[in-house]
Amino acid sequence: MKLEPSDLATIAEAVANRLQQLADTDSRLGNQDRIGFPEAEAAELLGIPQHVLRDCRLRGEILARKIGKRFVYSRQTLLDHLSGKEPN
């Protein structure tokens, strides 16, 4: 398969957009002032639907604490999950 110059431009644009999204997520997670994120926000930071994060929590793939009626994910838990570390 031969790529046309317009294909390369489209691929470069998609890669640039994704890198910017990752940088934005990294900057939000890098904020040391926040130590926990509610499930909806944690899912958004990970770039996945909230129900997918909930299912991961229910399968024990990621840890969360229940505070009141909400589940909260620590900053470190999200970073560990992104890096592929197993939950303790």
CA angle 84, 85, 88 (to 5 degrees): 145
Give the H/E segment covering residue 74: strand 70-74
Q: For every one of its 88 residues, what pLDDT tens digit does the chain have, with 9 covering 90 and above?
A: 677 777 778 888 888 887 787 677 666 666 667 789 999 999 998 889 999 999 999 999 999 999 999 999 998 899 888 888 777 6
* Residues constituting the chain: 88
As a whole number of angstroms, the distance between CA 38 and CA 33 comes to: 15
Beta carbons within 8 Å of 18's beta carbon, 6+ residues apart: none
Q: Read off the pTM.
A: 0.63
| DSSP alpha helix (H) spans, 31-74 | 39-46, 50-58
CA angle 19, 83, 45 (to 5 degrees): 55
